């Protein structure tokens, strides 16, 4: 690492030690229209997969949601003592985007970066989710800060699903997410403005800009459905081989960008491809089904699966890249109807 990275914050890679994983128990039925019933059971399965490896902290919208979470977790045999329930009102369950980003400060202490949140510039009901960062800071007692725009127009608006790091100063983002004409997260922001925020708030010294996210992504191109670091210098890329599928063009462009990129240390990247599952469509809508939306916890990697032949290909590929961790598939055909899966709903609290 450079002296600059030692002096400022450092955003750890997801495979570095966690103190906890944060999730929010689902309650907003319109996110899964007509198919909400199985969703709490999927969340219980996620807690079961994680809680033997690290503590799971669960936000509950109200007392009724908390009681339901307790009942389902107990019925599913999820051991008590490795998870906690907190009464915190939320609009939606996608904590990757509404919860803060945990970084290590200059002295090594964990700090929380609380981004502004505007529901992906798509929905009006986000006032509760916008306060999630402050609630988690209060619960943990960790120091927190809110990155501000240089023009004095308030907090910088970002979502955790749009940023990805190797823990050594390199970050992946997409142009679609931050620079396309449809974005109203930070009006007037340029590529240079974002890179300045990434440097100041996360210790990033090299930002690699990919093109577009995957088809069906409700967030306008989050990186966590297409490209993820799995170790220093190694990126997995969701790649569609069928030229008739729109993801083919997008993934070829992203592959070319990654092969031409270097990390913060000046090294070339090794790119490992993950397949996409066949298109998942409900009520005529293409959903953002992607194996790249896996989540790395202390001793386990949980991976979305879709009743597809490529499920095993993805699990085997990730198992080869994480030899020290269990790799566990979680059935996500119902979950993805909410336009997100495992990485979208988890947010790690970095350890020291």
Angle, CA of 310, 316 and 320, to the nearest 5°: 145
Q: Does residue 348 surpass a pLDDT of 80?
A: yes
- At 312-327, the pLDDT tens digits run 999 999 999 999 999 9
- For residue 21, what are the domain limits? 3-350
pLDDT digits (tens, 9 = 90+) for 247-282: 999 999 999 999 999 999 999 999 999 999 999 999
Q: Distance (Å, rounded) from C-alpha 136 to C-alpha 141?
A: 8
The residue whose two tokens read 């030692």 is 6
What are the catalytic residues? 344
Within 10 angstroms of residue 30's Cβ, the number of other Cβ atoms is 10
Q: Give the model's pLDDT for residue 7.
A: 63
Could you tell me how many residues make up the chain? 352
- Separation CA 57–CA 60 (nearest Å): 10
- What percent of the chain has pLDDT above 90? 92
Long-range contacts formed by 79-84: CB under 8 A, 24+ apart: 79/51, 79/52, 82/51, 82/52, 82/55, 82/56, 83/47, 83/51, 83/55, 83/56, 83/57, 83/58, 84/55, 84/56, 84/57, 84/58
Closest CA to 77 of 48, 43, 54: 48
Give the pairing of strands 206-210 and 227-231: unpaired
Does 2 score more than 80 pLDDT? no
Place of tokens 């919208």: 61
Q: Judge whether residue 56 has pLDDT over 60.
A: yes
With cut-offs at 50, 70 and 90, classify the pLDDT of residue 183. Answer: low
For the sheet with 300-305, list strands across it.
295-296, 300-305, 326-331
String of DSSP letters for 310-322: HHHHHHHHHHHH-
Tell me the whole-structure pTM to 2 decimals: 0.96
CATH number for 305: 3.75.10.10
Confidence category of residue 3, pLDDT binned at 50, 70, 90: very low
Confidence of residue 153 (pLDDT cuts 50, 70, 90): confident
Per the CB < 8 A criterion, the answer to whether 293 and 343 are in contact is yes
Q: How many structural domains does the chain have?
A: 1
Kindly indicate the confidence band of residue 115, based on its pLDDT and cuts at 50, 70 and 90: very high
Identify the H or E element spanning 348.
Answer: strand 347-350
Look at residue 227 and tell me whether its pLDDT is greater than 60: yes
Q: Residue 143 above 90 pLDDT?
A: yes
Task: Determine the pLDDT at residue 197.
Answer: 97
> Which two three-digit tokens encode residue 108?
């090594």
- Residue the block writes with tokens 């977790």: 73
Q: Is the pLDDT of residue 60 over 60?
A: yes
pLDDT over 50 at 57, yes or no: yes
């Amino acid at each position: 690492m450079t002296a600059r990275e030692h002096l400022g914050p450092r955003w750890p890679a997801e495979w570095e030690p966690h103190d906890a994983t944060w999730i929010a128990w689902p309650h907003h039925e319109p996110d899964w229209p007509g198919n909400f019933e199985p969703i709490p059971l999927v969340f219980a399965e996620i807690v079961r997969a994680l809680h033997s490896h690290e503590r799971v902290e669960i936000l509950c919208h109200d007392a009724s949601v908390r009681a339901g979470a307790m009942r389902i977790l107990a019925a599913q045999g999820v051991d008590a003592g490795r998870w906690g329930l907190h009464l915190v009102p939320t609009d939606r369950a996608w904590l990757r985007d509404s919860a803060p980003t945990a970084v290590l400060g200059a002295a090594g202490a964990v700090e929380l970066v609380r981004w502004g949140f505007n529901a992906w510039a798509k929905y009006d009901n986000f006032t509760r989710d916008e306060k999630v960062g402050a609630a988690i800071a209060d619960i943990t007692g960790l120091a927190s800060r809110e990155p501000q725009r240089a023009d004095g127009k308030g907090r910088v608006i970002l979502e955790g699903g749009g940023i990805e790091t190797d823990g050594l100063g390199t970050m992946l983002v997409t142009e679609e997410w931050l620079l396309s004409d449809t974005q109203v997260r930070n009006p007037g922001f340029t590529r240079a403005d974002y890179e300045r925020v990434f440097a100041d708030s996360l210790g990033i010294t090299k930002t690699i800009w990919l093109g577009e996210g995957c088809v069906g992504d409700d967030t306008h191109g989050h990186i966590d459905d297409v490209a993820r670091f799995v170790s220093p210098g190694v990126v997995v890329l969701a790649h569609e081989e069928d030229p008739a599928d729109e993801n083919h063009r997008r993934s070829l462009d992203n592959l070319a960008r990654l092969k031409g990129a270097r990390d913060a240390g000046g090294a070339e990247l090794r790119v490992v491809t993950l397949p996409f599952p066949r298109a998942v469509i409900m009520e005529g809508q293409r959903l953002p089904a992607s194996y790249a939306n896996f989540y790395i916890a202390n001793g386990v990697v949980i991976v979305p699966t879709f009743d597809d032949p490529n499920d095993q290909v993805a699990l085997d590929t990730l198992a080869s890249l994480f030899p020290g961790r269990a790799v566990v598939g979680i059935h996500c055909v119902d979950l993805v109807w909410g336009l997100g899966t495992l990485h979208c709903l988890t947010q790690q609290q970095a350890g020291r």
